[in-house]
């Protein structure tokens, strides 16, 4: 009887693993997926914590690779908590670049495919996504061979971690031998988990709060339960999640903002699940803090869209943002002017004084123009010595602004550029309006034509 019952639990665990690898293979770029369930929980980053593999499921592995894994399982090869080293932790996952740090703690079955993307996935890379249970690990998802050749981005990592979180609950249910029913076991785990916050919402009020939610939000439990409606702790711009996302059963995790009691804005990865609480329909909202990840991504994006020499936005930013400006102007029936500024005789300055001095002059002119513009205006370094100025709610009459800019630049050049060198800035512009909604390429060409007409008039010689 005991053997039959144990076999039933093992079969249930195997079904969970099969569902996991199917989902990962379909929803992420990774073509090789291996999910394993351990015979017992292990402590991460601890050599003395050990277990064996209870079962596994795979997609995309060769027959030979699956035989290697099967042999490890049948031999009862120990798995050590030491494989999950804190220094390789990435969110709730572990990333080992080039296989560094894996050592003998994990069977290495490297991909036979070679990846050519610079900074992309290497065939020796390893990404392990554990099944976390109360800060211990019940198994893992291991992925490899991404179709796009890239290392995992935040969206794919969040999806993998969500699947691992759900799988952990299902595996715990499948392997548990106590008499609690499924809903009770699920709730018990979520409530006591040290990883995620949990609130249970019923009739627009919070009925249950776990300790982690209390710590993440900075409210004590009575204060959270007294909120009416419950979504008062969400950031005002993200409260639509309370009306739409929470009501979508089985909704995918979303990244939203909350406001702690001390006023600090934090980012959470959130998912919601329908459940029965004390016999009545309710919603369990599970969340964990991803503020550091979001802020890091924002810093990296800002760096990618900013010119390091001048501190201005760059061409990539213009290409990404100009369409939003057009959308705004079309919606509110306003115009904007696109102005091109080109430094006169800049090549002569570089050839005569050297590129280091040329860079100093370029950065100085960029800062001067930025200071002369309004807060609502934006300026980008579009090319070597060429700038684009986007001037919302302006029209064709731009001469006064141009005169002011040229006068300021002339005064700056007098103090900062050798007098013997010719120097100045030429301008050309074109205006977009709802009555004349030119495509971007035509707007740029019109401004460029005007710029070169100005250059010819000033007899400045060849551009740049």
Q: Which fold would CATH assign to domain 182-293?
A: Beta-Lactamase (3.30.450)
What pLDDT was estimated at residue 447? Answer: 92
- Give ranges for CATH 3.30.70.270 in the chain: 305-457
Calculate the alpha carbon distances from 87 to 90, 100, 197, 292 in Å.
Answer: 9, 11, 24, 16
Tell me the β-bridge partners of 92: none
61 with 34: CB under 8 angstroms?
A: yes
Closest residue by Cα to residue 36 from 95, 79, 96: 79
- The H-or-E segment that residue 373 falls in is none
**CATH second-level architecture of 305-457?**
2-Layer Sandwich (3.30)
**Interatomic CA distance for residues 45 and 83, integer angstroms:** 6
- Give ranges for CATH 3.30.450.40 in the chain: 2-174
What pLDDT was estimated at residue 379? Answer: 93
Highest mean pLDDT among 10-14, 48-52, 251-255: 48-52
What pLDDT was estimated at residue 24? Answer: 92
- Tens of pLDDT, residue by residue over 335-378, are 999 999 998 878 888 888 888 988 998 999 999 999 989 988 99
pTM metric for this prediction: 0.44
Q: How would residue 234 be classed by pLDDT, with cut points 50, 70 and 90?
A: very high
DSSP-derived letter for residue 385 is S
DSSP string, 178-233: SS--HHHHHHHHHHH-SSSEEEEEETTEEEEE-HHHHHHH---HHHHHH-SSGGGG
Residue % of the chain over a pLDDT of 90: 26
The answer on pLDDT for 4 being more than 60 is: no
Closest residue by Cα to residue 196 from 213, 176, 220, 184: 213
* Position with higher pLDDT, 237 vs 184: 237
The answer on pLDDT for 414 being more than 80 is: yes
| Cis peptide bond prior to 423, omega within 30° of 0 | no
Q: How would residue 103 be classed by pLDDT, with cut points 50, 70 and 90?
A: low
**Interatomic CA distance for residues 350 and 345, integer angstroms:** 9
User: How many other CB atoms are there within 10 angstroms of residue 74's CB atom?
Assistant: 9
What pLDDT was estimated at residue 3? Answer: 37
Location of structure tokens 């512009």: 429
What pLDDT was estimated at residue 74? Answer: 86
273 with 303: CB under 8 angstroms?
A: no
Please tell me the class of the 2-174 domain: alpha beta
- Give ranges for CATH 3.30.450.20 in the chain: 182-293
Closest residue by Cα to residue 164 from 69, 90, 66, 68: 90
N-to-C CA span, the chain = 87
Name the pairing type of β-strands 313-314 and 336-344: unpaired
> Average pLDDT of 282-301?
84
Highest mean pLDDT among 89-103, 214-228, 235-249: 214-228
User: How many other CB atoms are there within 10 angstroms of residue 203's CB atom?
Assistant: 10
CA atoms within 13 A on the CB side of 222: 0
Location of structure tokens 């074109």: 430
- Tens of pLDDT, residue by residue over 185-204, are 555 555 555 567 888 888 88
What pLDDT was estimated at residue 268? Answer: 92
- Tens of pLDDT, residue by residue over 22-36, are 989 998 999 999 999
Calculate the alpha carbon distances from 460 to 348, 399, 452 in Å.
Answer: 11, 20, 10
Highest mean pLDDT among 45-49, 96-100, 214-218, 313-317: 214-218
Calculate the alpha carbon distances from 14 to 7, 9, 163, 346 in Å.
Answer: 10, 9, 15, 69
What are the E-state strand segments in 210-349? 254-259, 265-277, 280-289, 313-314, 336-344
Q: How would residue 249 be classed by pLDDT, with cut points 50, 70 and 90?
A: very low
User: Quick one: CA torsion of 216, 220, 222, 228, rounded to 10 degrees?
Assistant: -50
Which pair of tokens denotes residue 448?
């460029």
């Amino acid at each position: 009887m005991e053997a039959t019952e144990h076999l039933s639990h093992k079969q249930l665990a195997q079904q969970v693993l099969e569902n996991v690898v199917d989902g990962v293979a379909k929803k992420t770029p990774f073509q090789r997926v291996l999910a394993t369930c351990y015979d017992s929980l292990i402590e991460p980053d601890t050599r003395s914590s050990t277990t064996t593999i209870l079962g596994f499921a795979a997609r995309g592995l060769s027959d030979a690779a699956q035989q290697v894994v099967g042999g490890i399982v049948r031999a009862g090869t120990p798995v050590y908590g030491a494989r999950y080293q804190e220094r390789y932790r990435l969110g709730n996952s572990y990333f080992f670049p080039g296989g560094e740090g894996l050592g003998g703690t994990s069977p290495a079955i490297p991909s036979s495919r070679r990846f050519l993307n610079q900074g992309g996935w290497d065939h020796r890379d390893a990404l392990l996504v554990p099944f976390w249970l109360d800060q211990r690990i019940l198994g893992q998802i291991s992925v490899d061979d991404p179709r796009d050749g890239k290392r995992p981005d935040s969206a794919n990592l969040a999806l993998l971690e969500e699947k691992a979180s759900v799988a952990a609950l299902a595996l715990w249910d499948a392997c548990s031998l106590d008499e609690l029913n499924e809903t009770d076991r699920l709730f018990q785990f979520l409530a006591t988990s040290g990883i995620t916050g949990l609130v249970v919402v019923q009739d627009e009020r919070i009925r249950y709060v776990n300790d982690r939610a209390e710590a993440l939000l900075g409210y004590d439990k009575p204060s959270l339960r007294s909120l009416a409606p419950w979504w008062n702790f969400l950031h005002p711009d993200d409260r639509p999640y309370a009306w739409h996302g929470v009501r979508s059963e089985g909704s995918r995790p979303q990244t939203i903002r909350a406001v702690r009691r001390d006023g600090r804005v934090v980012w959470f990865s959130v998912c919601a699940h329908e459940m029965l609480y004390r016999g009545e329909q309710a919603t369990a909202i599970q969340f964990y803090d991803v503020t550091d990840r979001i802020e890091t991504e924002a810093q990296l994006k800002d760096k990618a869209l900013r010119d390091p020499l001048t501190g201005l936005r760059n061409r990539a930013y213009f290409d990404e943002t100009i369409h939003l400006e057009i959308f705004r102007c079309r919606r509110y029936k306003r115009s904007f002017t696109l102005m091109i500024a080109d430094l006169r005789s800049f090549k002569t300055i570089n050839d005569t004084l050297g590129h280091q001095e040329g860079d100093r002059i370029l950065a100085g002119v960029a800062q001067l123009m930025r200071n002369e513009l309004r807060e609502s205006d934006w300026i980008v370094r579009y090319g070597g010595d060429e700038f684009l100025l986007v001037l919302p709610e302006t029209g064709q009459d731009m001469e006064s602004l141009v005169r002011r800019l040229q006068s300021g630049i002339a005064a700056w050049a007098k103090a900062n550029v050798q007098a013997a060198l010719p120097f100045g800035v030429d301008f050309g512009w074109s205006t977009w309006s709802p009555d004349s909604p030119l495509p971007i390429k035509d707007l740029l060409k019109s401004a460029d034509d005007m710029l070169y007409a100005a250059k010819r008039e000033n007899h400045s010689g060849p551009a740049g």
